[in-house]
Amino acid sequence: MKIPLLSIQILQYEFLGPIPLNEWGPPMEKLVFLILSREKDNFKIVYVGDCEKTDNKSFFVQHLHFKCWVQQSGTEKSLYLAILPMFESSNDYRQNVLNKIMTHYKPPCNSVDVPESKPDYVVRKIEEPSLKSEKFFCPCCGFEMKPEKILEKSTLYRCTGCGMSDTKLNS
């Protein structure tokens, strides 16, 4: 009888498993692993880590965060393991995968390891263009248009009469 291989997708990565943690056996090499807590048919990520290489059968039981895993799942029997083999990967690449998962899922037993997310953009202050005293009138009703928001290259105006808006390029 063949045992079907299970898999679980986390972000864009397909992990093998989950299997009960107590059914795991060595060896393990160059992979990212998830410790999951099972409640009925739902799995919750409680920890994400990586492994360069181990033949130690007690790898997980002796792990620094094992007590936290048990505390989060309520019982050792509720702990499951899923792995993402990354045989050709560097430590940096595995760390990048770990950081993505930690940032997105915020596993409770990784709380001190979760990197602070830094924005991919830089906020720069722009100088507001000086508004000329030139009056601008609504093409719809003829009332005066007042500047509502000054943007980098344009200004948004709103009519004081009908509420229509218009945008003019800053000169």
- β 7-10/13-20 pair status: antiparallel
pLDDT score recorded for residue 1: 42
For 93-143, the DSSP string reads HHHHHHHHHHHHH--GGGTTTPPPP--SS-----PPPPPPS---B-TTT-P
Residues 102, 125: Cα–Cα separation, whole Å: 32
Give all domains of the chain, ordered by start, each with its CATH number: 7-110 (3.40.1440), 129-171 (no CATH)
Each residue's pLDDT tens digit in the chain (171 positions)? 445 568 889 999 999 989 999 998 888 899 999 999 998 889 999 999 999 898 999 999 999 999 999 999 999 999 999 999 998 888 899 999 999 999 999 999 997 665 555 555 655 555 554 545 567 788 888 888 888 888 888 888 888 888 888 888 887
Q: pTM for the complete prediction?
A: 0.63
